[in-house]
Structure 1
């Protein structure tokens, strides 16, 4: 019986055909496969981690926690704007500041002195391993600046303060002004005493801080007041000196209240201006009287026409006398003749009165003219004085500009001085009424039970950390593996189909037998042949090369297994050993040194060389490598190889060629390019991935038709635990399917 000729697909159809229906859950199954294979390592790491934590917990000293609550809230008395000098007023970082104060070395030293902790158990000795590590990192890289607080000297007080600072814990909830101060020590009583001492030191520090701030403010205000007083007095002296220098003496008026101050020159200017107006008015009045009198005289000097100024008692008397004389003359004229002595006397008397009246009027007119001249002279004098005073006042105005500047400066100095004086008075009053801004809400009491170590939490953390570390370590090892452990990994890395898995068996199992190993090996070979058959296309395959990347990867056993399986199924099979450099030591290939392929390729045999073929079992013929007498690469590159393969493909149903590895030499490339197909052997978990990729690249570049890869020397038990495909399921759950006990076949 013969089997149909093999039909193998081109390389580009292999992986896609097998993987196009890959389920989504395959990556997850791969992860679980890794955990199944290396789960013992994860369990070991978890046991070590939990065991180490248990050992530490059994040796750890129990510690007791004590805590106290302190309210930090600035409540300054509202005294004007003294909050500007009150500590912590409006300070958004108040709570952070108090935490830093609590952890400061100064507070720690005070607590050490108060409780006499220097040299006490737990507060003495050098730094621990972790502290030394942080100090080293700080000195080397500048990390962990708090490590520099550890005292370099061996002073017990400084050492105790450093240890205390490192143990102090402070908590604060957001939007709260309450600080929770806590510490853990081996003694419950000591923990409570330390926390209460810390709270007391914080409150005392706050009181000292506020008192010192008030004292500094008072001293500053006092010094500032002295300076401002000197400046105010100096500015006032400057004003007075300037007034005296420029004659700007003030005359203060107080009628109907306070009036603006006037200088002497400005007051004189105002007086002269008023006098000038009065003099000008008087001159005009005098000139009017003079003009009226002159007009009256020009009109005949009638009494009724004379101005009032010329109507003096003498003139009125003379006028009366002249009128009486005129009346008597008129009376005498009516009764006497023109030459009558009485009439002549009356006329003479009247003329005398008229003469005297004219003389008096002339004298009055001259007096008016003198008065007008005097008024005019006085007005001119006043005008001259007014002009002179205006020039002086103009100079005073220029000086007053500077004076006003000096006065503004003096007023500003006085205002500043009075403001600071008011603040200083308020500060002196507020120093005695400042309210407390920190108070102890709850003091610490000794704990009844230890707070650490928390066994349950630490064991859970150790378990979780060990589990995560173990899983990470396992997957790290998996990533560092060089070989291929599953068909999925092989296909994803190399890009070719995984067409079979050959278990690691003995020579006896490979030849056949009734053992489970023999059955599994035979089943794997049969399955590989079946895969090669169903991967058929229109291309007909007679010659198949079996090669690998490196030596000792199971390619020769694979070729022999395929040849034996095909022969037992009724096919005529020829197995050619083309590894001329290092022929495999297999009993089926005959004794070493027997003539074979090398002699045929070298042309050293008589005839066509068919007599060197050995039939090791029915249907299976073997052509050994022979004894090489030249360069193996030249022999495999000779035309005789092609003729041999043509003859073999015509006379045998299947020709299998076992070639040398690809990477050590180019022999396999010379043979593979002349064959119909190439099967690539990869040793399970041994063949480096880079070597396999390089070998496949060389095969493809030489024109070889690589149909797939076969994993060889597979330990099925381990393979079944780590792989996630159907083969692993078959080997894991149906090991005896091929007629052996426990297979469950029905």
Structure 2
């Protein structure tokens, strides 16, 4: 059979652009939907995969925590609680306004800190003071008369003081009531201790109030003389600054200085411009004089040098006329040239003795004027700077005087308010709820140590369940492989072309092929064995893969050659390439399957063909296509090019010009060329072949391939410039795709030649 004569190129006319656009639009829409549902889908998938681990951890932790809670509940001693309440501030607005308190203490008082407050007390500080040994030790001494075993630390450990609070719009607001409670197993002891504490607190409040008022009055009386003296001093300093700096109207003085500065700056700019023009004129005149052209210098001032310029022009005219009638060495021409030279010497002398000295004098005048303006500008700027400093000092003194005056007024007002408050002799803290034991709904003392075993057990179960879920998710995070096609699609950002389901019956076939490959390395051919039966969903996955690739065709970039590769070994790329080629050949396409894996070739074992001559021989030995291409017995339109003899440098062979030439011939003779290559990561073979093919399909094995390795392969493909058409997921187990259940209904399993096994031999 003459393959070269029978191979022909046949193309099916399709509306490639419209199909490609529709496919891309569909992929974009599905991507938007998937991004919205990805989080929920991933969570449910993790829960489904790790449910046993989560349940085991939750059960173990629940049993352990439950045992500890039950054991602890059996050793609890019941205690009771009593309390009383103190009103420590006036409840009405009129009484609050009567309270004045000076908070500022120091040599530099700040009256803004001395104000009438809605809460007279700093409750956090007051509660700590009430619990301090200074107040509690006398109380402990009284309690010891009845309960000698009592001490300060024992009392404090069971005593609780807090500010009564309530909710306003969901936020806690403090009241003017302090709640004092005490716990113990002896009810009589609780009652006695609370009575002693309440009496001591009321007495403390009375003494504290009187001391506070007296201290405040003393402090204000000490501060008023110094405040008055400060006000007087600031007024004297302000008057002195106003006289020294003439600050009758600071704003008007500032405007005058600003206008004067602008005028000087404008004059300086004008002088600078004139000086630059004079320098330019002087330099230009010198250059013209050096160049032997003094006439152009004299022409700058025609009025002064008019006669000489006319004589030079007349001589030039005569010389031109003489040259038109006489020879250059004639007497008339020589006379005129001599006259011309004399005129030029005269012009040079005028420039050197009159023009240039005049320009130099102008430059000196302008430089002197410039220096004078710069000095004036400097002096004015210094004056403006001094004026700004004096103005700032004046404003600072004025502001300090206002503050000092306001402080003095506030202190005088506070002293008067404190004198009124001290004269009224208001009552101290008031007990609004006397000491009493807390009772339950039945009127019996309520225990504060009631067991909460059921609630604690429920909480332990909940926390254990959450911990189990967390452990499950931790296992999921540490196990960095892909579990579903959606994860592959979202991670690689590539279209999902198809998902190949897992077929358990392929395991035996894979082991058998490994044995044959190991025993038949040097044989010329192999006998085809009986293939296992495949489900409808398995076969339909390859039809779907071929259809999606075919839809990517366009008139501008048709797909006639494909590279099938994966990130690592063992992901099923070789057998997927074989089954895709068989699927395309079954529908009438002329397909060439090329085993471009020159390192570990094995497609010839799958097809039962020999590997005596192949791709490496065609490149190195210049064999014809008839000599290296074999026709498969599985499909009439399926042709196969094996890897050929072993080559020590496959990179050199694949990147050769002959290899590119053969790839072009393949596309011309066949409708579709499929290359099976080594893995992407760590090897350059697939990148070299993909660079000259129409596209690459990336195979990813589920529950097998590490995410980082796949992402690394995608990044390397982006660097190499290969066109990645999409990804194909392999080893999809039951329940992983909604299509599988649909395809299984009403379709029996069928046999279709050699197809891709779930477990790749590599």
Q: How many angstroms apart in 2 are the aligned matches of 1:466 and 1:573?
A: 59
TM-score (norm 1): 0.53
Checking the alignment, whether the CA contact within 8 Å between 1:482 and 1:685 is kept in structure 2 is: no
Q: Give the 3-state SS of the residue equivalent to 2:645 in structure 1.
A: coil
Q: How many angstroms apart in 1 are the aligned matches of 2:497 and 2:694?
A: 17
Partner of 2:86: 71
Q: How many angstroms apart in 2 are the aligned matches of 1:116 and 1:492?
A: 78
Checking the alignment, whether the CA contact within 8 Å between 2:85 and 2:432 is kept in structure 1 is: yes
Q: Which range moved further: 628-637 or 558-567?
A: 558-567
Write out per-residue CA displacement over residues 85-132 of structure 1, whole angstroms, 9 at most, x where no aligned residue.
Answer: 999998622654553345445667778774799999xxxxxxxxxxxx
Write out per-residue CA displacement over residues 630-660 of structure 1, whole angstroms, 9 at most, x where no aligned residue.
Answer: 3111100122223333443444443211012
Checking the alignment, whether the CA contact within 8 Å between 1:68 and 1:196 is kept in structure 2 is: no
Checking the alignment, whether the CA contact within 8 Å between 2:501 and 2:541 is kept in structure 1 is: yes
Partner of 1:739: 748
Q: Which runs of 5+ in 2 are unaligned?
A: 1-8, 104-115, 167-172, 219-414, 440-444, 511-528, 751-762
Q: Give the 3-state SS of the residue equivalent to 2:550 in structure 1.
A: helix
Give yes or no for the alignment of 1:499 onto 2:497.
Answer: yes
- Equivalent residues in 2 for 1:178-189, closer than 5 Å: 178-182=177-181, 187=185, 189=186
Checking the alignment, whether the CA contact within 8 Å between 2:696 and 2:725 is kept in structure 1 is: yes
1:471 positional shift: 5.7
- Equivalent of residue 667 in structure 1, options 679, 682, 685: 685
Name which one, 1 or 2, has greater alpha-carbon Rg: 1
Q: How many angstroms apart in 2 are the aligned matches of 1:616 and 1:452?
A: 85
Partner of 1:529: 546
- Equivalent residues in 2 for 1:718-729, closer than 5 Å: 720=736, 728-729=737-738
Give yes or no for the alignment of 1:615 onto 2:632.
Answer: yes
1:56 positional shift: 4.0
Write out per-residue CA displacement over residues 22-77 of structure 1, whole angstroms, 9 at most, x where no aligned residue.
Answer: 6758634641442243251555565556555533431334554524131223579x
Q: How many angstroms apart in 2 are the aligned matches of 1:457 and 1:639?
A: 79
- Equivalent residues in 2 for 1:154-165, closer than 5 Å: 160=154, 163-164=157-158
Write out per-residue CA displacement over residues 246-297 of structure 1, whole angstroms, 9 at most, x where no aligned residue.
Answer: xxxxxxxxxxxxxxxxxxxxxxxxxxxxxxxxxxxxxxxxxxxxxxxxxxxx
Q: How many angstroms apart in 2 are the aligned matches of 1:671 and 1:25?
A: 33
- Equivalent residues in 2 for 1:285-304, closer than 5 Å: none
Q: What is the root-mean-square deviation of aligned Cα atoms in Å?
A: 5.3
Checking the alignment, whether the CA contact within 8 Å between 2:702 and 2:732 is kept in structure 1 is: yes
Give yes or no for the alignment of 1:92 onto 2:120.
Answer: yes
Q: How many angstroms apart in 1 are the aligned matches of 2:427 and 2:613?
A: 117
Give the length in aligned residue pairs: 489
Structure 1 residues 47 and 197: CA distance shift in structure 2, 3 A: farther
Give yes or no for the alignment of 1:204 onto 2:197.
Answer: no
Checking the alignment, whether the CA contact within 8 Å between 2:629 and 2:639 is kept in structure 1 is: no
Q: Which range moved further: 609-618 or 505-514?
A: 505-514
Write out per-residue CA displacement over residues 287-340 of structure 1, whole angstroms, 9 at most, x where no aligned residue.
Answer: xxxxxxxxxxxxxxxxxxxxxxxxxxxxxxxxxxxxxxxxxxxxxxxxxxxxxx
Give yes or no for the alignment of 1:20 onto 2:29.
Answer: yes
Q: How many angstroms apart in 1 are the aligned matches of 2:701 and 2:146?
A: 70
Partner of 2:619: 601
Structure 1 residues 523 and 108: CA distance shift in structure 2, 3 A: farther
- Equivalent of residue 437 in structure 1, options 413, 422, 430: 430
Partner of 1:304: none
Q: How many angstroms apart in 1 are the aligned matches of 2:146 and 2:745?
A: 77
Q: Give the 3-state SS of the residue equivalent to 2:437 in structure 1.
A: coil
Structure 1 residues 84 and 636: CA distance shift in structure 2, 3 A: closer
Write out per-residue CA displacement over residues 468-491 of structure 1, whole angstroms, 9 at most, x where no aligned residue.
Answer: 666666666666664443444433
1:626 positional shift: 2.7
Checking the alignment, whether the CA contact within 8 Å between 1:588 and 1:622 is kept in structure 2 is: no
- Equivalent of residue 730 in structure 1, options 734, 739, 758: 739
Q: How many angstroms apart in 2 are the aligned matches of 1:183 and 1:434?
A: 26
TM-score (norm 2): 0.52
